[in-house]
């Protein structure tokens, strides 16, 4: 009896396990599962956990990696807008955005087949966008003239538009220029063009510097001329004021010549006595004859 009970328990456990395997399935965090009923996609599960299903052939499962996948396309030649050959490759990251649409578009939901299709789309978008830009937008001695961000955005937009048009169930998460190069046949001509552009910039900078120097010089000359004119006007005004004062003094002296003579003698004495020195003079000689009119006690001279 004990053996029969044990056998029944084991059989029951195996039956439960078998039923779980038939009627349930697990979804991992990194994957998305498409449930097909009679080979027609009917449900998409993106959340991790344990779910119930009908066993095959009623329902079947297709599992896809929902993480971002990356690749780099081929380093190939593309003609630019000015008919110059450019070597270029891009890198991008993509993911399955709609697994239900993705499954029927590619045999067995093959990610490799999807990547090959994506490479064709990106190659076509890259050629179309590069053909609208001149080489100077990629290679330029002036960094401000390079348009990498604009070009990358245009390629991404063109590829996304094509994917949406065919409803592949794929989205591009990021795209950028990986490598740029020039064929050997055009390298020298590009260097010559860059040299010519640099020479042009130098010439323009020199011309601008000369114009600014000329403007500064003209401004300085105008300022100097204004200062000189103002100084000359001030000098004439002061000279006129001095002449006016002199005319007033001359009129007084003309009315009293003796006062004028006395004033001149005092100025002469003042000039002579400014120096610390001993004077020996004749009292009869002007302007020292003024001392004769001083009292002996005040003049300090004896007879």
pLDDT, tens digit, 9 for 90 and up, residues 175-234 = 999 998 877 766 666 666 667 777 777 888 888 888 888 888 888 888 888 888 888 888
108-157: per-residue pLDDT in tens?
Answer: 778 889 999 999 999 999 999 999 999 889 888 778 888 999 999 999 99
Cβ pair 25, 53 in contact under 8 A: yes
Q: How confident is the model at residue 302 (pLDDT cuts 50, 70, 90)?
A: very low
Q: Where are the alpha helices (H) located in 131-183, listed in sequence order?
A: 148-166
What pLDDT, on a 0 to 100 scale, did the predictor assign at position 1?
55
- Give the separation between CA 242 and CA 263, rounded to whole angstroms: 18
Write the pLDDT tens digit of every residue in 20-62. 666 777 888 788 888 878 777 778 888 777 887 777 787 788 8
Instruction: List Cβ neighbours of 198 (8 Å cut-off, separation of 6 or more).
Output: 141
pLDDT at 160 over 60: yes
What is d(CA 101, CA 88) in angstroms, rounded to the nearest whole number?
32
**Is the pLDDT assigned to residue 6 strictly greater than 80?**
no
Cα dihedral: 188, 193, 195, 201 (round 10): -170
295, pLDDT greater than 60? no
Q: 69-182: what CATH class?
A: alpha beta
Q: Looking at per-residue confidence, does 253 or 52 come out higher?
A: 52
Per-residue pLDDT reduced to its tens digit, 172-186:
999 999 998 877 766
């Amino acid at each position: 009896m004990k053996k029969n009970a044990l056998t029944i328990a084991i059989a029951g456990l195996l039956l439960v396990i078998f039923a779980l395997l038939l009627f349930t399935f697990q979804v991992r965090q990194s994957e998305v599962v498409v449930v097909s009923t009679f080979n027609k996609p009917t449900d998409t599960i993106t959340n991790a956990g344990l779910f119930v299903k009908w066993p095959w052939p009623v329902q079947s499962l297709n599992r896809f990696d929902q993480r971002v996948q990356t690749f780099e396309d081929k380093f190939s030649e593309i003609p630019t807008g000015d008919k110059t050959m450019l070597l270029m490759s891009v890198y991008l990251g993509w993911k399955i955005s709609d697994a239900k649409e993705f499954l029927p578009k590619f045999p067995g939901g093959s990610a490799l087949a999807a990547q090959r299709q994506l490479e064709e789309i990106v190659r076509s978008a890259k050629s179309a966008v590069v053909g609208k830009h001149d080489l100077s937008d990629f290679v330029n001695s002036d960094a401000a003239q390079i348009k990498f961000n604009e070009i990358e955005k245009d390629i991404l937009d063109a590829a996304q538009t094509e994917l949406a048009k065919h409803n592949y169930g794929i989205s591009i998460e990021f795209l950028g220029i990986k490598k740029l190069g020039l064929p050997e046949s055009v390298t020298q001509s590009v260097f010559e063009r860059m040299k010519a552009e640099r020479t042009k910039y130098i010439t323009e900078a020199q011309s601008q510097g000369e114009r600014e120097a000329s403007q500064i010089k003209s401004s300085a000359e105008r300022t100097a001329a204004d200062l000189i004119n103002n100084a000359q006007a001030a000098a004439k005004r002061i000279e006129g004021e001095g002449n006016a004062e002199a005319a007033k003094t001359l009129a007084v002296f003309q009315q009293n010549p003796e006062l004028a003579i006395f004033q001149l003698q005092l100025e002469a004495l003042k000039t002579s006595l400014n120096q610390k020195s001993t004077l020996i003079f004749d009292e009869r000689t002007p302007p020292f004859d003024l001392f004769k009119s001083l009292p002996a006690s005040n003049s300090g001279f004896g007879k």
